[in-house]
Amino acid sequence: MAHPLAEGGELTSRILDALDKAEPPLLSTETFPTYDSNDVKAALDRLASRLMVEYETTQREEVHLEPEGELIAAHGSHEARVFEALRAAVDGLTIQELEKTIGDKTISKLGQGKAFKEKWITKTKGRQDMTPGIVIANTFILDGKLAAVPDSIHDAAREQLLSIKTSRTVADQKVLADLKKRKLVRVQKVIGFKIYKGSKFALELPDEATDLTAEMLATTSWKTATFKPYNFQALGAEQRAGALHPLNKVRTEIRNIFFELGFQEMPTDSFVESGFWNFDALFFYTSDPAIAGAPSDHPYWENVKAIHQGGKYGSIGYRKGPDGRPPPARYFSIDRVFRNESVDNTHLAEFHQVEGIIADYDLTLGGLMEFMDVFFGKMGITGLKYKPAYNPYTEPSMEIFSYHPGLGKIVEIGNSGIFRPEMLEAMGLPKEMRVYGWGLSLERPTMIRYGINNIRDLLGHKVDLSFVQKNPAVQLDKA
């Protein structure tokens, strides 16, 4: 048994009937103008999957009137309405009277300007001053009245819009641009379909089975049954599963780079530290380490205090160095940091810092530059440029730059240097040990990788959850 309305409703049946009676191709925009193009396509897809029809998609632009354009097409242009109102008033009208007659102050004002330009209306001079004893040629009392000049006019604007309403096209692109600028019309894309009969065309949809049942197997009816075809292009059911944030994906890639280069990850779960560890221990100048709430019972504190206050270990400002030769080491951390920062498209007061250090003997500045080439090369960043910089805790120090293809310019991508001996010896490290240090934000490579222009779209309360759910996996282009 056939089901003419199955799966396509009335529209499916109407398409088959219209196609049977019409000469191909059948144009959907003419035959089914009241149906949405998405509904028509859905019905055509159902029929095409059964080889009952074939179709081609067409697309064209139509010009439609905006509300103000509809108003002009119905009642005339603003300037024509002003002219008609003044023509009907034999003695003319004042501006206030004209506004009252038309019933719209805006139409009256706009129409006057255009009507004056077309010389359809004029402003009357009034009557001559006949005051006794005063004879002055061409002296008039201006009564401010407007009057129509010709007996009739041609309202080209209304005629043009009426034509557009019928044909939905404008041949002259300059005229179309002007009408769009005046917000009288809008251009709308219209999707249509050319429909042809398929190899299995019929007026009714066949009765289709969706499953192979035990009864079909027992009665062998499956041999003659028509099964509904699988739609391998259909989207699956949306999965409300968890999703990794883009920052976590890039963080994992960078962690793998560190592990590949033989680094150990440092614990960084202590978000709150005293000023002693954040500044004094890094050789930042402060008035007194004790002011920052340093751990005064720690022997390291005494060493740092001595360097800050009077110098030690042969330096004019703070150092130390016990016996012993610690082994070389490589450490990194990726975690949140906080700073007093004005928030804008590229800066937040809270972000993620990627930091790495290498401690070894006989390290040189050239070795640091070579390692930076290797490290950033693992992230697909090549052609590095270096610029001398200043950090309280490293000397020498370098800012790291690279060309950004998207921005078309060289941008800073990190900071680096060799830690000062004043800082290292205070920790008890031997005098001959050197330590490389460098850092970059996690947000910058993530923004570049995902094409994000505003950091607030990546981190914070303004993040779109759909972006987190739908963003693709990331794999850095390793050089």
In the prediction, which pLDDT does 194 show?
92
Q: Specify the pLDDT at position 283.
A: 59
Percent of the chain with pLDDT over 70: 78
* Confidence class for position 377, pLDDT limits 50, 70, 90: confident
* 277 confidence band (pLDDT: 50, 70, 90): low
| Distances 222 to 109, 128, 200 between C-alpha atoms, Å | 78, 104, 20
Please give the CATH number for the structural domain made up of 78-154. 1.10.10
Structure tokens at 84: 């008609």
Burial 358-367 (b: 16+ CB within 10 A, else e): bbeeebeeee
Q: At what angle do helices 105-117 and 78-88 cross, to 10 degrees?
A: 90
Rounded mean pLDDT of the chain? 78
pLDDT at 196: 92
Q: Is the pLDDT of residue 319 over 50?
A: no
Average pLDDT over residues 295-323: 59
For strand 93-94 and strand 140-141, is the pairing parallel, antiparallel, or unpaired? unpaired
Alpha-carbon distance 231 to 457, whole Å? 37
Q: What is the CATH number of domain 246-470?
A: 3.30.930.10
Whether residue 428 contacts residue 321, with contact meaning beta carbons closer than 8 Å, is answered with yes
The reply to whether the predicted model has a pTM over 0.95 is: no
Which of 3-17, 33-47, 395-409, 459-473 ranks highest by mean pLDDT? 33-47
pLDDT at res. 290: 42
Cα–Cα nearest to 77, from 160, 180, 174 = 160
Over the stretch 424-456, which tens digit does the pLDDT of each residue have?
888 888 888 889 988 888 877 777 777 777 777
Average pLDDT over residues 213-222: 89
CA distance 94 to 184: 28
For the cut 70, the answer to whether the pLDDT of residue 298 exceeds it is: no
What is the domain partition of the chain in residue ranges? 78-154, 246-470
**pLDDT tens across 397-432, in order?**
999 888 776 667 787 888 889 998 888 888 888 888
Would you place residue 136 in the very low, low, confident or very high pLDDT band (cuts 50, 70, 90)?
A: very low
Q: What pLDDT was estimated at residue 323? A: 40
Residue 254 exposed, middle or buried by CB count within 10 Å (0-12, 13-18, 19+): buried
